[in-house]
Amino acid sequence: MSFFKVQFRSDVLSGEGEFGVFLPRNAQPPYKVLWLLHGAFGDFTESIQYTSVLMYAERRGMAVVAPSSYMGVYTDMVYGEKGYSFVKEVLEKAPKLFRCLSEKREDSYLMGISMGGHGTFKLAAEMPERFRGACGFSSPVDMVYTMSILEKGEHFGGHELFDAFGSSAAYSGTVGDVISNLKRDLREGRQLPRLALCWGDSDHAAPEDERVKEILDQLGVKFYSRVGPGGHEFDTWDPMMQEVLDYLMKEED
């Protein structure tokens, strides 16, 4: 793949923003795009270094665009950066800089690792008409619930989550209230992206993801789920990535 590192003056951050663009050599533009969101404390290189996601994307003729959210945790933080608005800024800017990237719904996919999966589901719920498929790996999809158990001392998270989300009550009803927003999409008859959620059998995020799976089942949302061997680590997620991409990209049933 051809690689470009883009650094630009971000209107959202009032400072420098960064994202990586990886273009396939075995396909003709406009390219399908995999928008790849990293986990907490990472940057756009994280999943690139520790998984074979570029190889999986290139085999499918896909470009990969990966923003660096750092500790923006894909939300406009109570105390901190506007991490969610920044990712949306990249969604708008990247296709203007790289005209070879398709903006069609049928060519646009999201994938997020850990905290990146929260950003993935937020985008999928807010703008379902923008993406054909979205997957989170070991992700705190329902951050309202995650904050509620953190407030009870039943979650391992620390002060950075309070800095980002405030409280369960403050985050409820916002764009980050993924479950409520998915319910709204269903009420309004909006076509959801094809969704997937995967995690490891010894993952600390497993109880949260199992709960989200039950909720989606109850709502009648069609989605793919997979539990693989391992914990909250790239060795767990990497083997599942190809299966997920095939599911997200397959023709409608």
CB atoms within 10 A of CB 250: 10
Domain count, the chain: 1
How is residue 167 written in tokens?
A: 């409280």
What CATH number is given to the structural domain containing 243?
A: 3.40.50.1820
- Whole-angstrom Cα distance, residue 87 to residue 90? 5
Q: Do 118 and 136 form a contact (C-beta atoms < 8 A)?
A: yes
Range of 53's domain? 2-249
Q: What is the DSSP letter of 105?
A: G
Q: Which residues sit opposite 23 in a β-bridge?
A: 2
- Whole-angstrom Cα distance, residue 111 to residue 131? 11
Kind of pairing, strands 194-200 and 133-137? Answer: parallel
Residue-level pLDDT, tens digit, the chain, 253 residues: 899 999 999 989 888 999 999 999 989 999 999 999 999 878 999 999 999 999 999 999 999 999 998 777 899 999 888 999 999 999 999 999 999 999 999 999 999 999 999 999 999 999 999 999 999 999 999 999 999 988 888 777 777 788 889 999 999 999 999 999 999 999 999 999 999 999 999 999 999 999 999 999 999 998 999 999 999 999 999 999 999 999 999 877 5
Total-model pTM: 0.95
C-alpha distances out from residue 1 to 40, 62, 201, 249, Å: 26, 10, 33, 20
Strands (E), 126-247: 133-137, 194-200, 223-228
